[in-house]
Structure 1
Amino acid sequence: MFLHHRFHGLGPAFYSEERIKPLNEQRLVEINEPLAQFLNVDFKDPTTLDTLSGELDIPKCLSMVYAGHQFGGFSPKLGDGRGVLLGELETQNGDFYDLHIKGAGLTPFSRMGDGRAVLRSSIREYLVSEYMHALGIPSSRALALYDSTQAVYRERPELGAMLARVAKTHIRFGHFEYFYYSGKTDELDALMQYCLEHHFPHCLDEELPILSMFQDIVLRTANMIAHWQAVGFQHGVMNTDNFSILGETIDYGPYGFMEEYDPSWVCNHSDHEGRYAFGRQPSVGLWNLNCLARSFSNYLTRDQLVDSLKQYETRLEMHFSRLMTDKMGLSKGALTEELLKEWLAIITKEGLDYTSAFRLLSTVSKASPATLLDEVVDRSAASEFLDHYWSQRDDGRDQNEVSASMLKANPKFVLRNYLAHETIESAEQGNYLPFRKLLSVLSKPFDEHEECKELAMPSPEWGKRLEVSCSS
């Protein structure tokens, strides 16, 4: 396994050189074989195993420094408090991916923490990152999972773990904020140039490369959040230090997926004011981009920044509309705000599961409306919706083909918090079979998986609206 160290070349102002501190009796319990093959990582090679476990000391490993707006307040110096960037892997087509270990031990940025991750949060991140990838949402991904016998203390003693993960970059909005607010103009210049050369090379040919890069970040962020809203995903901690410049979903903590439709839903039990509630995610994305814009103000005029930010809402609405059009099986331009509101109103009134309801709609035919009507109490309202729906959908296309395309846009399986909870309980007892079973369906969530159909069932009452902690 050959590692590049491009970020290390920026110099010590950008990081602290660190190494992995192995856990007590740690074990490699899961390998993402397809991802390993894609990245040319050979787990049969002892050097690979020693590198990822921390037994082999790799020069130029580092923990990044950055800042961030956290729940609206600015923290001038944060950083990788429990993570180590081992380097970058190069694929056969010349793309680079950061190889990062989460839970690697104390760093100068750990603040009052211990630099560790627990098995609970590591399993949750493994599952969700692979699920998001399967949904087509840009995301960090899990490469390998380690457990251990080491006790890590959160609300209670838990088992320590480490997660090897990859992303196209771990550079965040907070990197720019750190150097801007600390007045480190030379370092900010270097960061701008690094990002242009390595992550936005297509912008170098533009008349104003930095403007082009900022506009690209705006549009990528809008696309990401539009996709979150379409699938019912809530991040939980949308701080600027958790936002990737490439529009990848990173830093999974207290996330959740919509069950009963509710824009005010909050999955993070620490978010007492609902700052990052599901329905607020689009506006928070724009707020974060405004924070980033301030860090670009040495290079771009106010008008350039404002004009770029104006593209956010248009792109988000356009991308969200396209995604929902596909989910509802409509032809381009047929989806109206009124029709979508009607459908969401039925889901809300009937207490239908968000994911299951869209999957159900994929199977409804004009000749057999009972597929939906038998699942609701107010059949009259549902019939009115179907009349409106068919007037928009019945455009001469083959309805079997439309249904097939809808089934490819509406997953059968979703990562419900209660499923993650049960999987974690088993893993903490040393049984990883439920984890692997759940992972198998989440990796191909649009397939039927009849042998695992119970994993597609809506949550039991006790499992609905579970709130989750940051756990770290």
Structure 2
Amino acid sequence: MNLEHHYATLGDAFYTHVAIQPLHEQRLVEFNQALATSLSVDIKSPETKALLMGETVLPQGLSMVYAGHQFGGFSPQLGDGRGVLLGEVRGQDGLLYDLHMKGAGLTPYSRRGDGRAVLRSCIREYLASEAMSALSIPSSRALALFDSREAVYRERPEPGAMLLRTANGHIRFGHFEFFFYQGKQAQLDQLVEHCLDYYYPECRQAEQPLVAMLLAVVKRTAQMIAKWQAVGFQHGVMNTDNFSITGETIDYGPYGFMEDFDESWVCNHSDYEGRYAFARQPGVGLWNLNCLMRCFSNHLERDQLVSILQTYEAELQQHYDDLMLAKTGLEKTTDLHVLLPSLFSLLTKEKMDYSVFFRLLAHFRESEFDLLLDEVIDRQALSNWLQQYQAARLSNTLSWSQMSERMLQTNPKFVLRNYLAHSVIQAAEQGDYLPFRRLLNVLTSPFEEHQASDELAQRSPEWGKSLEVSCSS
């Protein structure tokens, strides 16, 4: 494994050197072979395993320091409280990817925590990050999972675990906030130059590289959130320290994939005021970007920063419209804007499963309404909508069958429901990882039929809908 250490060159103001602290009787229980191959990482080699399990100390290992707005309040110093950035590896595509170990033990930024992760949270992140990647949503990825016989205490004693994850980068909005509010202009400038060098080199060619980079960050963030909304994903903790400068989804905690359609849905049991409710995610994204822009008030004029932020809404709306056109099988935005609000009202009233409905819509054949009508109580209301929808689809330039095929590659049959994650976690805690691997298999190819795994595409049972997840998840 050929590790590079570009972030480490920034200096001690940006991190503290730390080492992975091994867990008791830890084991490598799962690894992502395809991803490892693309990064030229031989997970099975004794040298690599010894490094990843903390048996061989990596002198350049570090935990990042950053700040962040958490549920609207500013925390002036946060940081990797249980994570170690091992370094970067160069993929076969020529790009650099961070290797970051979650649950590696205490760091100077652990605050009142223990620096550990539990098997439950590591499995949830492994499944979610791979599911999101399969849905073409920019995301950190899971590379390897380690379990152990060490007890970690949350609401109850749980098996300790570590998760090796990759991403284009782990620099957060909160990194910039830390140096800005500390008044450390030189370090803030260093961070800007680092991001231009390693994440936005194309912006170096612009007349104003910083402006070009910030515009790109706004665009990537808008597109990421549009994708969340289109697939029904809720992050759960949209703090600025959980937002990546690269526009990737990171830090999977109390996330969820929408089941019964409800725009006011809150997946995080700890979000008592619903700050990060599903329908609020686009607005929170803009709020977070506004926090980021403040960090450059010494670099750019206010009008320039406002102008950069003003590109967000149009970018998000355009990308969301494009995604929903593909999802519904429509070609005209005017049709979409007429049909979508009334559909969402129907789905809310019927408490219809979001992913199931759109998958059925992809299978919908001209004038054969019963497939969908059998799913609702108010058959007349849905029948009226389907008549309008059918008329709009028949005006497409593509044939019905062509559009249906496109829809089947846009609307997943399999999504990660909380009850499915709960079930595989229970099995894994007993040492059985077969249910985990079976679920992972369908989540990483979610548009395929996988007929032998049809039960994994079913709606949640009632007990599954009542499962709660919080920040400790």
Q: TM-score, normalised by structure 1?
A: 0.99
Identity among equivalent pairs (%): 62
Q: Is the 8 A contact 1:67 1:76 kept in 2?
A: yes
Equivalent residue number for residue 158 of structure 2 = 158
- Please give the secondary structure, in 2, of the residue aligned with 1:204: helix
CA distance in 2, matches of 1:110, 1:376: 49
CA offsets 1:96-137 (integer angstroms, 9 cap, x no match): 000000000000000000000000000000000000000000
Q: Which amino acid aligns with 1:422?
A: S
Equivalent residue number for residue 31 of structure 1 = 31
CA distance in 2, matches of 1:251, 1:404: 34
Q: Which amino acid aligns with 2:257?
A: F
Q: Is the 8 A contact 1:325 1:335 kept in 2?
A: no
Q: Is the 8 A contact 1:131 1:443 kept in 2?
A: yes
Q: Is the 8 A contact 2:140 2:248 kept in 1?
A: yes
CA offsets 1:38-75 (integer angstroms, 9 cap, x no match): 11111232111111111111121100000000000000
Equivalent residue number for residue 455 of structure 1 = 456
- Please give the secondary structure, in 1, of the residue aligned with 2:87: strand
Q: Which amino acid aligns with 1:149?
A: R
- Please give the secondary structure, in 2, of the residue aligned with 1:290: helix
Q: Is the 8 A contact 2:81 2:111 kept in 1?
A: yes
CA distance in 1, matches of 2:45, 2:430: 29
CA offsets 1:389-430 (integer angstroms, 9 cap, x no match): 012111252211111100000000010001101110110011
The yes-or-no answer on 1:427 pairing with 2:428 is yes
Deviates more, 1:392-401 or 1:448-457: 392-401
The yes-or-no answer on 1:209 pairing with 2:209 is yes
CA distance in 2, matches of 1:106, 1:373: 55
The yes-or-no answer on 1:236 pairing with 2:236 is yes
CA distance in 1, matches of 2:158, 2:45: 31
Deviates more, 1:198-207 or 1:339-348: 339-348
CA distance in 2, matches of 1:397, 1:57: 59
Q: What is the Cα deviation at residue 469 of structure 1?
A: 1.5
Q: What is the Cα deviation at residue 28 of structure 1?
A: 0.4
Q: Is the 8 A contact 1:266 1:467 kept in 2?
A: no
Q: TM-score, normalised by structure 2?
A: 0.98
Q: Is the 8 A contact 2:262 2:351 kept in 1?
A: no
CA offsets 1:148-199 (integer angstroms, 9 cap, x no match): 0001011111110000000000000000000000011110010000101111
- Please give the secondary structure, in 1, of the residue aligned with 2:23: coil
Q: What is the Cα deviation at residue 332 of structure 1?
A: 4.4
Q: Which amino acid aligns with 2:219?
A: L
CA distance in 2, matches of 1:440, 1:110: 34
Count of residues in Structure 1 that have an aligned counterpart in Structure 2: 472
Equivalent residue number for residue 365 of structure 2 = 365
Equivalent residue number for residue 416 of structure 2 = 415
Equivalent residue number for residue 259 of structure 2 = 259
Equivalent residue number for residue 147 of structure 2 = 147
Equivalent residue number for residue 121 of structure 1 = 121
- Please give the secondary structure, in 1, of the residue aligned with 2:333: coil
CA distance in 1, matches of 2:436, 2:85: 26
CA distance in 2, matches of 1:247, 1:445: 23
CA distance in 2, matches of 1:288, 1:457: 36
Equivalent residue number for residue 303 of structure 1 = 303
CA offsets 1:220-271 (integer angstroms, 9 cap, x no match): 1100101001111010000000000111000000000101111111111111
CA distance in 1, matches of 2:338, 2:414: 27
Q: Is the 8 A contact 2:412 2:446 kept in 1?
A: yes
**How is 1:1-400 mapped onto 2 (pairs within 5 angstroms)?**
1-395=1-395, 396-400=397-401
CA distance in 1, matches of 2:228, 2:399: 30
Q: What is the Cα deviation at residue 344 of structure 1?
A: 1.4
CA distance in 1, matches of 2:151, 2:46: 27
- Please give the secondary structure, in 2, of the residue aligned with 1:318: helix
CA offsets 1:263-307 (integer angstroms, 9 cap, x no match): 111111111011111111110000000100100111111001001
CA distance in 1, matches of 2:336, 2:451: 35
Q: Which amino acid aligns with 2:34?
A: P
Deviates more, 1:174-183 or 1:391-400: 391-400
CA distance in 1, matches of 2:439, 2:40: 26
CA distance in 2, matches of 1:105, 1:44: 23
- Please give the secondary structure, in 2, of the residue aligned with 1:152: strand
Q: What is the Cα deviation at residue 335 of structure 1?
A: 3.7
Provide closer, same or farther for how the CA distance between residues 261 and 301 of structure 1 changes in structure 2, counting only shifts above 3 A.
Answer: same
CA distance in 1, matches of 2:128, 2:466: 17
Q: CA RMSD in A?
A: 1.0
The yes-or-no answer on 1:437 pairing with 2:411 is no
Q: What is the Cα deviation at residue 465 of structure 1?
A: 4.6
CA offsets 1:316-375 (integer angstroms, 9 cap, x no match): 111111101000011143543220012112222222110000000001111312111222
Q: Is the 8 A contact 2:393 2:400 kept in 1?
A: no
Q: Which amino acid aligns with 1:415?
A: L
Q: What is the Cα deviation at residue 467 of structure 1?
A: 2.2
Q: Is the 8 A contact 2:325 2:336 kept in 1?
A: no
CA distance in 2, matches of 1:264, 1:467: 16
The yes-or-no answer on 1:471 pairing with 2:472 is yes
Q: Which amino acid aligns with 1:140?
A: S
- Please give the secondary structure, in 1, of the residue aligned with 2:310: helix
- Please give the secondary structure, in 2, of the residue aligned with 1:84: strand
- Please give the secondary structure, in 2, of the residue aligned with 1:215: helix
Q: Is the 8 A contact 1:148 1:160 kept in 2?
A: yes
CA distance in 1, matches of 2:167, 2:236: 20
CA distance in 2, matches of 1:299, 1:247: 22
Q: Is the 8 A contact 1:334 1:393 kept in 2?
A: no
